[in-house]
Structure formats: C-alpha cells, structure tokens
C-alpha cells in the first residue's frame, strides 16, 4: 500500500524532471539564438580582441553545457551553475542595451541599444531559465531541510 511519503516523493520527482526539461529548453533556446546570431556575423576575433560574436559563442557554449548538465543530473550544483549562466546572460543583455560597457583587456566595447526579434526572444528565454532555476534551487533546499 503506497504511503503519503511515496506519493510526495513521486510528485517531487515529476516536478523536478519537468523543471529540468523546461529549464533546458529555455536555456538551450537562448544558446541556439546566440549561436545563430554569432554565425551570421563573423569574425570571432579582430585586432587582438574577442568580438561581440565571439562572446555570443562563449555564451552559447556555456548555456548548452549547463542545460545538458541540469537535464542529466539536476543536482543543486548543476542548478546553481545553470542559474548563474541564465541570470548572467539576461543581465548582460539588458545592461548592454542601455549602458555602454567599456573595453576591458581582450574584450570589446559592448553596447547594442537596438531591440530585434532574436534579442527579445533571448531575453525571454534567459528570463524563463533564471526563474526555473530559482524555483528548482528553492525546491531542492526545502527538500534537503526535511
């Protein structure tokens, strides 16, 4: 006979898997958008500096790696890394739209005030991913306290 604890465990497992899939789809889509934009506008390096497109590829790789990590493992550490990439991506997108970030070392000046469909979609997908990460981390922390 199933107990209340068995039912709660199955429900939290299903919820955890749903969060992992939704999060991986959201951040994976952000990675796809960044890669698509970067490959349309080479080069990746110019005058000894990484270009904005090089940064887009770095973001796409980081997002894809942590999305896969969360999808496969779903540990607290994976979710924290996932949340950092999602929130960092969203923050970089928003700040670079309104503030000119100066060149630092090999990195270029970052400023893109124009909003276009891919940028809106990247902001939405990174925002969803960050929200999913928050819910997942809070759920894991709550479960670990029991």
**7: helix, coil or strand?**
helix
Q: Is the dihedral of CA 112, 118, 123, 126 positive or negative?
A: negative
Name the CA radius of gyration of the chain, rounded: 18
Q: Give the pLDDT of residue 9.
A: 64
User: Is the distance from CB of 19 to CB of 135 less than 8 angstroms?
Assistant: yes
Domain residues of the chain, as ranges? 4-145
Q: Rounded to whole angstroms, how far apart are CA atoms 53 and 66?
A: 20
Listed as ranges, residues in the chain with pLDDT below 50 are none
Q: 125: which residues sit within 8 A by CB, 6+ positions away?
A: 26, 27, 29, 30, 33
> Which residues pair with residue 40 across a beta bridge?
none
Q: Give the pLDDT of residue 52.
A: 87
C-alpha dist (Å) from residue 11 to 4, 14, 35, 139: 11, 5, 36, 12
| 66-108 residue pLDDT tens | 999 999 999 999 999 999 999 999 999 999 999 999 998 888 8
CA 103 from chain center: how many Å? 24
CA dihedral 85, 132, 37, 102 (to 10 degrees): -40
Q: Rounded to whole angstroms, how far apart are CA atoms 74 and 11?
A: 16
User: Is the distance from CB of 35 to CB of 89 less than 8 angstroms?
Assistant: no
The reported pTM is 0.87
């Amino acid at each position: 006979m199933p107990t209340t604890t068995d039912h709660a465990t199955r429900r939290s497992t299903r919820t955890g898997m749903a969060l992992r899939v939704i999060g991986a789809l959201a951040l994976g889509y952000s990675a796809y958008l960044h890669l698509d934009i970067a490959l349309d506008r080479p080069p990746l390096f110019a005058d000894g500096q990484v270009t904005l497109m090089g940064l887009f590829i770095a973001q796409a790789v980081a997002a894809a790696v942590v999305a896969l990590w969360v999808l496969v493992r779903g540990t607290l550490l994976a979710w924290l890394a996932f949340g950092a990439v999602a929130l960092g991506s969203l923050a970089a997108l928003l700040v670079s739209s309104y503030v000119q970030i100066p060149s630092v070392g090999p990195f270029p000046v970052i400023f893109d005030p124009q909003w276009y469909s891919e940028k809106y979609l990247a902001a939405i997908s990174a925002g969803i991913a960050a929200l999913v990460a928050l819910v997942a981390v809070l759920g894991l922390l709550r479960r670990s306290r029991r």
